[in-house]
Amino acid sequence: MPVVSALYQAPATPISELQTLLDRQRLAYGADPYPPLEHRQQWLKSLRQILSDEREVLIDAISQDFSHRSPDETLFAELMPSLHGIDHTLKHLKRWMKPSPRHVGVMFQPASAKVVYQPLGVIGIIVPWNYPLYLAIGPLVGALAAGNRVMLKLSEYTPATGHWLKELLGRIFPEDRVAVVLGEADVAVAFSGLAFDHLLFTGSTHVGKQVMRAAAENLTPVTLELGGKSPAIVSADVPLREAAQRIAWGKTLNAGQTCIAPDYVLVPHNRVEGFVEAYRTAVHGFYPTLTDNPDYTAIINERQVARLESLQTDAERKGARLLTLYDHGQGRRMPHALLLDVSDDMQVMQEEIFGPLLPIVTYHRLDEALAYINARPRPLALYYFGYNKAEQEHVIQHTHSGGVCINETLQHVAIDDLPFGGVGPSGMGHYHGHEGFLTFSKAKGVLIKQRLNSSMAAYPPYDRQRVRLVQKLFIR
C-alpha cells in the first residue's frame, strides 16, 4: 500500500490545459450522448471498489492535509457516506432513468407525452477543503449516474488528497470521462469561467458570488452549496444533557469545520447556566484532553487559525465572555470555547464561524427565537431540540433553511433519499440521491404524434363553424 509523503505537494494543472480538457470531454460526450444503464452502473461500481480498496491511503492523505485529522472522523464522515451514496444510486438508477409518462389532453389526441432525462454534457465541480473526499464523491456520483462527463477542481488547501484522488480516479476513468484539476486560486478562477453545461460549487457565500458571476458569462447553470450561520434552538423543556451532547457532537466534528455545524445556540434565558455545564460535560466526554488526542481534528492551516483567533478577540473586545473548555491546545488543535453575552456588532455573529467557537444567544419565548433567526440570512441548516410535536411543526413551518434536524445535528446530510441544498444566501439547487440525478439531467419534454393529425382543426383559414365547435368543446 502506498504511503503518503509528509512533504508531498501536488503539481498544479496548467491554466492553458483547462479548455483543452473541456474540449476533449465535450467531444467524447458528443460521441456518446446517452450512455446506457449498464455503463453507468459499471462506473459507479468501479468508483466504489477503488474507494474501498484505497481507504487507508485517502484517510492518511486527508490527515496530512489537516496536520492531523481523526482517521475515524474521515471514515464516518467522508468514506462511509460516499460508499452509501453510491449504493443508494446503484439501487435506484434504473428507475430514475426511465422516461416519465405524462398526460395528454383530449384536444391533442391521438398523441403521447413523456419526460426523458438526458445527460447535460460536461459538469464542473469545485470541491472545498473541509471534506475533500465526500464533497468530491457526492456530486461526482450524481453526475456520473446522470451520464455526464466530469471535471473536478480540488482545493489547494488539500494537496495530498488532491494528488491521490487524481491518481485513483485516473486508474478507473479516462480523462475524457473524469478529470481532476489541481492548483491555486488562479486555477479555480479560470475553472469557474469555463463553459460547462452545469457547475456545482461548495464553499463560502463570498466566493459563491464570484463563481456565479463567472458562470453567468457563459449562461452556465449553477448549484451553489454555501453555508451561513446555522442555528440550534434549545427548547424550554428538553433535557439539557441530551440536547447539549447532540449539539456538541455536531459542533466538534472536524473541529467545527463543517458547513452545517451549529453556528450559534439559542437557549432560554433561565437555562443558560445549565446548558453551559451540560455542554462542557459533553465536550470533555468526547475529548478528555487535546494533547496527543487522536480523535480531535486540527484546524486546516494557520490562516484559518488566525481568522478564528481574530473572531474571538473581536468578540471579547466588544464585551463577550469567553469560556474556554481547555487550558491550551496543541499545534493547530484549537481549544473549543463558548461565547456568552454576544451582540450583533461582533464579527462572530456576522460571519460563518467554521471552527470550535460557539456563541450562545438567550431568548424568552420560542417565537422570539424564531424571529431572531428569520431576521437574518437564511441558513443552510436549522436544529431544534424539544420533544413537543406541535412545537416541532411550528419551527419547521415558521422558519426557512436549507434543511432541518429535529433533536439531531448534521445527520440529514447523510440520508441518501433527502435532497441537500441551501436557500438564498446559503445556496441554490439540490443534490444527493434522486435530486442529484435530476440536477445533472435535462428533463426534456417530448410530445409524440403519428400519422393522424388532429391539429388540422386549428389550421387557418379559420372556419367560423369549426371555431365555434372548438370553443364549445374545449373553452368553457
Kindly list the distances between the CA atom of residue 116 and the CA atoms of 275, 437, 438, in Å, as whole numbers in the listed order: 53, 13, 11
- Give the three cell numbers for residue 327: 487550558
Note if 405 is an active site residue. no
Please report which helix (H) or strand (E) contains residue 118, including its range: strand 112-119
Note if 259 is an active site residue. yes
How long, in residues, is the chain?
476
Task: Compute the distance between CA of residue 49 and CA of residue 114 in angstroms, rounded to an integer.
Answer: 35
Question: Residue 56 in 3-state DSSP?
Answer: helix
Kindly list the distances between the CA atom of residue 451 and the CA atoms of 84, 115, 364, 446, 455, in Å, as whole numbers in the listed order: 48, 22, 71, 17, 11
Q: Which residues of 43-62 are buried (b: 16+ CB within 10 A; e: fewer)?
A: bbeebbebbeebbebbbbbb
User: In degrees rounded to 5, what are phi and psi of residue 151?
Assistant: -120, 125
Task: Note whether 152 and 1 are within 8 A (CB).
Answer: no
| Catalytic entry in 54, 73, 78, 259 | 259
| Catalytic entry in 225, 352, 391, 435 | 225
- Give the three cell numbers for residue 353: 464561524
Count of helix runs (H) and strand runs (E) in the chain:
16, 16
- Give the three cell numbers for residue 196: 460547462
443 strand-pairing partners: 117
Q: Which residues are catalytic?
A: 225, 259
